[in-house]
């Protein structure tokens, strides 16, 4: 039985991880009492006692936590942005060709927006259908749970009033410095970061990432995705329908669906998934399963 520790279990991702792991019989979930959650010594002891630890922490705190892991056998899955492009860390998206097994000790869980963008772009770049020099734009719509506990409290604190900013979809990170941009550039091998427009809306969870492109055949893009993800356990390619696609369609699920809408002159590359599922905790559990030798989709809702 594998000992698992969640450092930062009271945050959005930590709570979602606990929910996914609660019914597991192949792991022992280690916990600290509430009064020791901020105790650096107690946390370090737990990090080194566990076979695998999830870090659901702010970036700087995550870096400090990793520095305290001295047990060479301990596996760390970091859900922060601190290590996603750092040498020596495996990017936690195995469908993209990143190997995760019982020898992998440091895993950087992907960002939610980044997961959809990279899942759409990397296969096309690898196949030569998109040049690395492509200047892409990306629109990403997320439920408010993607903003963390404070944002959830703001959205769920009371009834909406006319004119309330939270009652309408809201653009944010307008300075083009969103924390996911480094991985959105580095992982698919782009030379320049995309123009990125993230939007948060008044629904709990679910994400829809859309990339408009021109000069690419829809069939070529779909065939590329079908081939690339032919053996993927948690990513599937669906047929274009031209019908409306609500962003909360995958809420409560841990898989991702991809498609290509439009025509051969103007395409929309679309990824839909749950920002707390394949965009966060679901992806982390998938990585844990591979690292401990369990079935890849154990405990996940597909």
Residue 275: the pLDDT is 97
Average pLDDT for 211-234: 96
Q: Single out the catalytic residue among 56, 112, 138, 224.
A: 112
Residue 156 has pLDDT above 90, yes or no: no
CATH code linked to domain 2-110+280-292:
3.40.50.720
Residue 148: the pLDDT is 87
- Between 168 and 274, the higher pLDDT residue: 274
Token look-up 């909406």 returns 160
Residue 38: the pLDDT is 85
pLDDT digits (tens, 9 = 90+) for 42-53: 999 999 999 999
Which two three-digit tokens encode residue 15? 């709570």
Domain boundaries, the chain: 2-110+280-292, 112-275
- The dihedral built from the CA positions of residue 276, 278, 284 and 286, taken in this order, carries a sign that is positive
Residue 246 has pLDDT above 80, yes or no: yes
CA dist 79 and 58 (Å) reads 9
pLDDT digits (tens, 9 = 90+) for 11-70: 999 999 999 999 899 999 999 988 888 888 999 999 999 999 999 999 999 999 999 999
Residue 158 has pLDDT above 90, yes or no: no
Residue 157: the pLDDT is 83
**169 and 201 Cβ atoms separated by less than 8 Å:** yes
Residue 163: the pLDDT is 60
Global pTM value: 0.95
Token look-up 């653009």 returns 171
Decide yes or no: CATH 3.40.228.10 for domain 112-275: no
- The dihedral built from the CA positions of residue 18, 19, 21 and 25, taken in this order, carries a sign that is positive
State the pLDDT confidence band at 160, using cuts at 50, 70 and 90.
low
Decide if 138 is catalytic: no
Strands (E) across the chain are located at 2-7, 27-30, 52-55, 75-78, 90-91, 106-108, 137-143, 170-171, 195-201, 207-214, 235-237, 256-262, 266-273
Residue 198: the pLDDT is 97
Residue 233: the pLDDT is 92
Q: Report the chain's mean pLDDT, rounded to a whole number.
A: 95
- Asked if the domains 2-110+280-292 and 112-275 are classified in one and the same CATH topology, the answer is no
pLDDT digits (tens, 9 = 90+) for 93-150: 999 999 999 999 999 999 999 999 999 999 999 999 999 999 999 999 999 998 888 8
Residue 150: the pLDDT is 86
> What residues are paired with 258 via a beta bridge?
237, 271
Backbone dihedral region of 198: left (phi > 0), alpha (psi from -120 to 50 degrees) or beta?
beta
Residue 162 has pLDDT above 70, yes or no: no
């Amino acid at each position: 039985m594998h000992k698992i520790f969640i450092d930062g279990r009271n945050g959005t991702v930590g709570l979602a991880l606990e929910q996914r792991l609660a019914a597991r019989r192949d792991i022992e979930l280690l916990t600290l009492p509430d009064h020791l959650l901020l105790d650096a010594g107690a946390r370090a002891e737990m990090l080194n006692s566990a076979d695998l630890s999830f870090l659901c922490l702010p970036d700087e705190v995550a870096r400090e936590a990793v520095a305290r892991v001295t047990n060479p056998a301990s596996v760390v899955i970091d859900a922060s942005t601190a290590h996603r492009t750092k040498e020596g860390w495996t990017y936690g998206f195995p469908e993209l060709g990143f190997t995760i097994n019982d020898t992998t000790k440091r895993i950087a869980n992907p960002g939610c927006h980044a997961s959809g963008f990279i899942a759409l772009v990397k296969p096309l770049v690898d196949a030569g259908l998109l040049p690395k020099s492509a200047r892409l734009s990306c629109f990403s719509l997320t439920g408010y749970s993607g903003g963390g506990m404070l944002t959830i409290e703001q959205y769920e604190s009371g009834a909406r009033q006319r004119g309330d900013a939270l009652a309408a979809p809201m653009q944010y990170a307008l300075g083009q410095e969103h924390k996911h941009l480094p991985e959105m550039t580095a992982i698919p091998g782009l030379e320049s970061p995309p123009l990125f427009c993230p939007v948060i809306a008044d629904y709990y969870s679910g994400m829809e990432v859309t990339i408009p492109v021109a000069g690419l055949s829809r069939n070529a893009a779909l065939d590329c995705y079908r081939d690339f993800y032919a053996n993927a356990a948690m990513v599937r390619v669906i047929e274009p329908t031209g019908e409306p696609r609500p962003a909360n369609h995958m809420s409560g699920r841990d898989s991702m669906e991809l498609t290509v809408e439009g025509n051969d002159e103007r395409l929309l590359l679309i990824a839909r998934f749950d920002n707390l599922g394949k965009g966060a905790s679901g992806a982390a559990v998938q990585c844990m399963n591979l690292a401990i030798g369990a079935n890849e989709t154990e405990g996940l809702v597909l």
